[in-house]
Amino acid sequence: MKKCEHLAIIMDGNGRWAKAQGLPRSAGHLAGADNVRTIAIAASELGIRYLTIYAFSTENWKRSKDEVSYLMKLPAVFFEKYMQEFVDRGFRINIIGEMEELPASTAAVLRNAMARSAANTGLQLNIAMNYGAHREIILAARRYAEDVKNGIVQNDIDEEGFERYLMTADMPPVDYLIRTSGEQRISNYLLWQIAYAELCFVPESWPEFTPEVLRRCMEEYEHRDRRFGGVTNE
Ligand code: IPE
Ligand code: IPE
Ligand code: MG
């Protein structure tokens, strides 16, 4: 199998899926959260080491108060249902995004999930919560500037050096990015990390994205010719 260490997913289409069933948007988010467990297990079984999922963007605060509040309560429901299983499977939970701006109770749930699984060595499930790539890069630049000012580092940073200031420090770059629900855009996700990722856009909404669809996407990945600017001799 072609190496895919790091898979990123933009889980889109929960709202449209719910609407099509005559359900409120919140029902789509709940079904979507359940699907995170299903796909994390499937990804782990496919040998993927890092799965980074987009749960809430820095732009998603624009949604109605009710929807935002529902999304902020979902992590508690999600981890209450599945945390024990994740621990049993050796999954390590990690959060990327600005947790300081989340409601205190949401941040506490997320910190607890990270702490409970910190020593695990199986699939690393990165959940992007209040994450935006522009914000991530700005925060990294600020921290770097601060370190230069304090004489901790020289002003001679390279790509590898800069990566250490990102929220994905110590992770490999994204190999494959999948977006569900037909939209063909990046929506401020992992802009640095996807520099050479292969991209895959599927029509299925996130609640409809089954392990079978994931396998189909991975099969497609197998046939991609990753050149990284070089030339392949075929
Ligand atoms: C993705 O589904 C979940 C989040 C962005 C939180 P959406 O809520 O964006 O669903 P659509 O795109 O409106 O159908
Ligand atoms: C991207 O989906 C963010 C998440 C999946 C959390 P959106 O539904 O917010 O993206 P746009 O607004 O359609 O670009
Ligand atoms: Mg959407």
pLDDT tens-digit series, residues 50-62 = 999 999 999 999 9
The token duo for 167 is 């929220």
Tell me which of 34, 60, 112, 188 is the catalytic residue.
Answer: 60
Q: Is residue 147 one of the residues assigned to a domain?
A: no
Q: Is 12 a catalytic residue?
A: yes
Q: Is residue 159 one of the residues assigned to a domain?
A: no
- Tens digits of residue pLDDT in 134-191: 999 999 999 999 999 999 999 999 999 999 999 999 999 999 999 999 999 999 999 9
- Tens digits of residue pLDDT in 13-59: 999 999 999 999 999 999 999 999 999 999 999 999 999 999 999 99
The confidence band for 232, taking pLDDT boundaries of 50, 70 and 90, is confident
The whole model's pTM is what? 0.98
Query: Residue 12: CB within 6 Å of ligand 2?
Result: yes
Q: Is residue 215 one of the residues assigned to a domain?
A: yes
Report which bound ligand comes closest to the CA of 67. Answer: 1
**Total domain count for the chain?**
1
Q: Is residue 81 one of the residues assigned to a domain?
A: yes
Please give the residue range of the domain that contains residue 205. Answer: 6-132+174-222
CA distance 210 to 17: 14
Say which CATH number the domain at 92 has. Answer: 3.40.1180.10
**Ligand 2 centroid vs 109 CA: distance in angstroms?**
23
Q: Is the distance from CB of 198 to CB of 175 less than 8 angstroms?
A: yes
pLDDT at 234 over 90: no
Q: Is residue 186 one of the residues assigned to a domain?
A: yes
Tell me the three state secondary structure of residue 129.
Answer: strand
Q: Is residue 22 one of the residues assigned to a domain?
A: yes
Phi then psi for residue 187, to 5 deg, are 50, 50
Report which bound ligand comes closest to the CA of 8. Answer: 2
Q: Is residue 163 one of the residues assigned to a domain?
A: no
Q: Is residue 119 one of the residues assigned to a domain?
A: yes
Q: Is the distance from CB of 51 to CB of 43 less than 8 angstroms?
A: yes
Q: Is 66 a catalytic residue?
A: no
Specify the pLDDT at position 1: 72
